[in-house]
Amino acid sequence: MLGSVLWLGGEFAFVVFNEADRVGLLEPANHDRLVAIVDVSMALTPLLLLGMQRILNGPLRVHAPKSDRPFDTIDAQTPKVLVAGMGRFGQVVARLLTARHVPFVALEHNPDTMEDLRRFGSQLYYGDPTRPELLRAADADRIKVFVIAVDDPETNIKTVRLIRRLYPNATVLARARNRQHAWKLMDLGAEPFREVFASSLELGERVLTSLGLGEALAQDHVKRFRQHDEDLLRCQHLVYDDDAKVIQTSRDARADLMNLFEADVKADVEVEPASTTQDR
């Protein structure tokens, strides 16, 4: 593809031709011919790219690899949970369900991931969760909880939208890439779980204890922060299409959180002298 367009002329050729004409290196007739040739080559560029694209039978944009493999036939018996997406997120959920002997159906659309997981004995099926017939084959009308752990946000949203339309009474728990993704999931009535939020809080708690803060106090701070951020997420969901209001709510919430933590510190300082006096 690259080689097919290297010979084409560009705007820089006009600069060279004009300079050569100005100093007398090109005759006017030759100058006009060269300019016309470059004009034609530039005009043909889009058509040439389309032609080469068809010849090579591949789009310019890189897509995820597709497989001609047919979808698996699902024969799971009375599953209670359906896990869509068995990447690094969905695998943890599936392992927990397996340990608790909770019957579930796991769907994965990436054939490479399928083979890797099946080597370790994982029970899952190859299929696209955005296809209604596959959900019906999985007895989705009997599913109590849908876990949407698909990595791609667009496919994630599409899957949630389909499940909400076909099974409006089911519980839908969905992986969210970020706050914006979480708000869109909330629009569809799904409960979002931000993929790095919990682990970040766990690490933050470890930082606090490493700096000498008591374990109980560190856990309390993390618990307060988590509740505060989840409340903020729900508050911003009401105005997330208004950037100015989202920014303002973030500022207000940050100030509230700082005041809350400062009040905790003040209370701890007041309690400590009282305890010392009592000991005497």
Contact, 125 vs 108, CB < 8 A?
yes
d(CA 138, CA 128): 12
Contact, 128 vs 103, CB < 8 A?
no
Which one is predicted more confidently, 20 or 170?
A: 170
pLDDT at residue 14 greater than cutoff 70: no
Domain ranges across the chain: 9-56, 81-195, 203-272
Q: What is the mean pLDDT of residues 103-107?
A: 89
Which one is predicted more confidently, 192 or 252?
A: 192
DSSP state of 196: T
Which one is predicted more confidently, 55 or 164?
A: 164
DSSP state of 70: P
CATH code matching the domain that covers 81-195, chosen among 2.40.50.140, 3.30.200.20, 3.40.50.720, 3.40.1620.10: 3.40.50.720
pLDDT range class, residue 40, cuts 50, 70, 90: confident
Predicted local distance difference test score (pLDDT) of residue 7? 53
d(CA 135, CA 188): 18
Predicted local distance difference test score (pLDDT) of residue 62? 42
pLDDT range class, residue 61, cuts 50, 70, 90: very low
pLDDT at residue 21 greater than cutoff 70: yes
| Cα-based angle 249, 255, 259 (whole degrees, multiple of 5) | 140
pLDDT at residue 15 greater than cutoff 70: no
The sign of the torsion formed by the CA atoms of 201, 207, 209, 211 equals negative
DSSP state of 101: T
Q: What is the pTM of this model?
A: 0.63
What does the pLDDT look like over 118-176, one tens digit per residue? 665 556 888 889 999 988 888 888 899 999 999 999 999 999 999 999 999 999 999 99
Token representation of residue 16:
């060279």
d(CA 104, CA 143): 9
State the average pLDDT for the chain: 79
Instruction: Report the percentage of the chain scoring pLDDT > 70.
Output: 71
pLDDT at residue 35 greater than cutoff 80: no
Query: Which runs of E-coded beta strand occur in 18-176?
Result: 81-84, 104-108, 125-126, 145-148, 171-176
Token representation of residue 49:
């790219």
Query: CA 171 → CA 138, 156, 192, 193, 232, distances in Å?
Result: 16, 15, 11, 13, 23
pLDDT at residue 201 greater than cutoff 90: yes
Predicted local distance difference test score (pLDDT) of residue 113? 78
Predicted local distance difference test score (pLDDT) of residue 46? 66
Please name the residue that has the structure tokens 């897509």.
63
DSSP state of 9: -
For 163, other C-beta atoms within 10 Å of its C-beta total: 26
Predicted local distance difference test score (pLDDT) of residue 271? 46
d(CA 146, CA 151): 15
What does the pLDDT look like over 206-239, one tens digit per residue? 999 999 999 999 999 999 999 999 998 999 898 8
For 71, residues 6+ apart whose C-beta sits below 8 A from its C-beta are 125, 126, 127, 128, 131, 134
Which one is predicted more confidently, 56 or 170?
A: 170
pLDDT at residue 26 greater than cutoff 70: yes
Please name the residue that has the structure tokens 């920014």.
247
Predicted local distance difference test score (pLDDT) of residue 63? 45
d(CA 17, CA 12): 9
